[in-house]
Structure 1
């Protein structure tokens, strides 16, 4: 039985603004970009998938690169640890739409999950079992078990783009941005074949019209660690926090300068440039076209910290309280992930960067 989902063991309200880049890794091709990040259950390892068709494994305790693995024939995206430190699943970007189950120990495939007929755009492993979810451009969501090559459940939905398990592993959410209106659907894993028990429409037309924006592309769906809220990340100038019980909009997280631009123009996006901190109070995300020439900040880029513990402004838009500077050479924060076991978070663009608190300093943004 896999361990329970990690709980925040650190008081982050004071330490997060003191986080600084601790270690940078440039192990991919110089022109490659990293498209996904994930930590294993123990918090000891980080896996990065890159568009140069490699997987990079990092030891978080030692702060070192562990090994490189290749997937040249099939490509690699959305690499996710199973409940062991030596096995991952990932989506193919070439040849076919098969999901591959890889042993990192000997670089051999344990199983192939065949069934999708379109690009897989989301993979999520259940936090409490060996089940996982995939969504695809073939308009299906499939439920799998790591012990079988055949999917055991399927939902046909209008362009399912993202999925997420709640911390209990009982509920899963599905984002369908092309339904009318764009919505998030909640299902009980034990009765997934029935209608969703909750549907949260997210038209947000009044705000979008007032700011002359179209609905941005949705890029990340994640439950907070206490299960109370959902983070819906986008590729635009704002993200959404949604009450996971009522479906009401809690706040928009504003980032004025927009997201990082991806140099290589790949169509499969990233695993998301925004995430929850383990205490369910802070959200961490990319702030600018980090590392890009001509970006508003001169190419430095930044990581924003949104603190919901100080209350939500009347207009329902929350701006970052702090901004931390990314190393220029790292290529920004196209992917962001938090290691709830160790208190480390990682960002990735051209390089993987580990962040840890530096004692005795405040955040650099000066926005709060």
Structure 2
């Protein structure tokens, strides 16, 4: 898997390290219907726009440069979830939540459909666009993973995997991962030979840690699968008391556990699972996660984990903000991240916020 230039990564990481502790809620947008909850967030490649879907069957577009709401788009007939920008900031794909399980390709400019992607027989649980071209992957409760190309309505490839709840591309766009929670496994495929068996399978178990929360130990529901931008690690976000960071090359032999105070999924059984409340920062160093109504928590992956492979929080941001963060996404280009629950909130560094933790809490090693 291709890795980012080490010097570029170091410079970007140093820049973010100077500001990560200073993020505060900057602006909140209340564009969804009363009582509705946000189910997904995504930024376009340039970082200029953010798209959010809600269970009120609307898509909300935000201008990150101007810090304002741009437009509301309705999908009342089909519902909407997991909206993802293509490589054109004017176009998105999203999953339907009612009537059928078709994936829809939408022009935000005139709110018209460009193409439909039909094939899934049950609800789509994951939708990810390749970082380098027009291919994308979808997972569904029909026990299939499908590979598509935006230029054709025909499915380009099909994998039969039991409960393939999540999928993610690595930064090169050559490798993709599928998370099958029923097997506690992450399967890695080469996109050029995806019809073959996975070239690597990582089994994700840690009974010693999980037994602290349940007996017998049970893996919490997985909610997020993501590669870091340097391709070295994969993040498995969960609905329980931990998130997992897995070495993309060594698998569970280099597994780290991150603990958080957090809610356990949607507030109602009828609510959709969100696109995840944890993510990597663009420099691949930090993890940012919601923790219920206690604001946002940050971990520094360069710090040393303890003997139980647990990493202590680096900092808690705006602990008493009282704003639930059930969805979290970091802007790929701008110094901004977004959280959402019933509102969408943009977080920006505050100039006069407290300084970073003392050097004693600084990273002890860099992997």
Q: Name the TM-score, length of structure 1 as normaliser.
A: 0.90
- Please say if residues 325 and 364 of structure 1, whose CA atoms lie closer than 8 Å, have aligned partners that are also in contact: no
Match of 2:226 among 222, 227, 240: 222
Structure 2: distance between partners of 1:319 and 1:126: 33
Query: After superposition, what is the alpha-carbon deviation per residue over 1:6-63, rounded to whole angstroms, capped at 9, x for unaligned?
Result: 9784621121110011111001112111000000001100000000000000000000
Find the aligned partners of 1:267 and 1:144 in 2 and give their Cα distance: 27
Question: Does the residue aligned with 1:149 lie in a helix, a strand or coil?
Answer: strand
Change (3 A) 1:326 1:59: farther
- Counterparts of 1:264 and 1:31 in 2: how far apart (Å)? 11
Q: Which residue of 2 aligns with 1:38?
A: 42
Could you say which residue in structure 2 is the equivalent of 1:308? Answer: 301
Task: Give yes or no for contact 1:339–1:345 (8 Å, CA) kept in 2.
Answer: yes
2:354 & 2:233 partners in 1: Cα distance? 28
1:321 lines up with 2:325 in the alignment? no
Candidates 205, 209, 234, aligned match of 1:203: 205
Q: Name segments (4+ residues, structure 1) moved above 6 Å.
A: 363-366
Give 1:108 shift: 0.3
Q: How far 1:309 moved relative to its partner?
A: 1.6
1:343 pairs with 335, 339, 351, which one?
Answer: 335
Residues 140 and 165 in structure 2, CA contact (< 8 A), matched pair in contact too: yes
How far the C-alpha of 1:316 sits from its partner, in A, is: 0.4
Equivalent positions of 1:1-16 (< 5 A) are: 9=12, 11-16=15-20
How far apart are 1:146 and its partner, in Å?
0.3
Aligned pair in 2 of structure 1 residues 150, 363: CA closer, same or farther (>3 Å)? farther
Matched, 1:115 2:119: yes
The separation in 2 between residues aligned to 1:80 and 1:350, in whole angstroms, is 19
Partner of 1:295: none
Aligned partners of 1:148 and 1:191: how far apart in 2?
A: 20
Shift of 1:258: 2.4
In the alignment, the residues of structure 1 paired with residue 320 and residue 39 of structure 2 have an alpha-carbon distance, to the nearest angstrom, of 18
TM-score, length of structure 2 as denominator length:
0.91
The CA distance in 2 between the partners of 1:122 and 1:211, in whole Å, is 27
For residue 294 of structure 1, what is the aligned residue in structure 2? none
Displacement, 1:326? 6.5
Q: Distance in 2 between matches of 1:124 and 1:27?
A: 25
Other-structure match for 1:147: 151
Map of 2:131 onto structure 1: 127
Q: How many residues align?
A: 349
Q: How far is the alpha carbon of 1:329 from its aligned partner? A: 6.3
* Distance (whole Å) between structure 2 residues aligned to residue 9 and residue 341 of structure 1: 11
Q: 1:74 to 1:364 in 2, by over 3 A?
A: farther
- Structure 1 stretch displaced more, 224-233 or 203-212: 203-212
For residues 269 and 240 of structure 2, the distance between their equivalents in structure 1, rounded to whole angstroms, comes to 16
What is the aligned partner in structure 2 of residue 188 from structure 1? 190
Aligned pair 1:252/2:244, yes or no?
Answer: no
Cα distance in 2 for residues equivalent to 1:234 and 1:245:
21
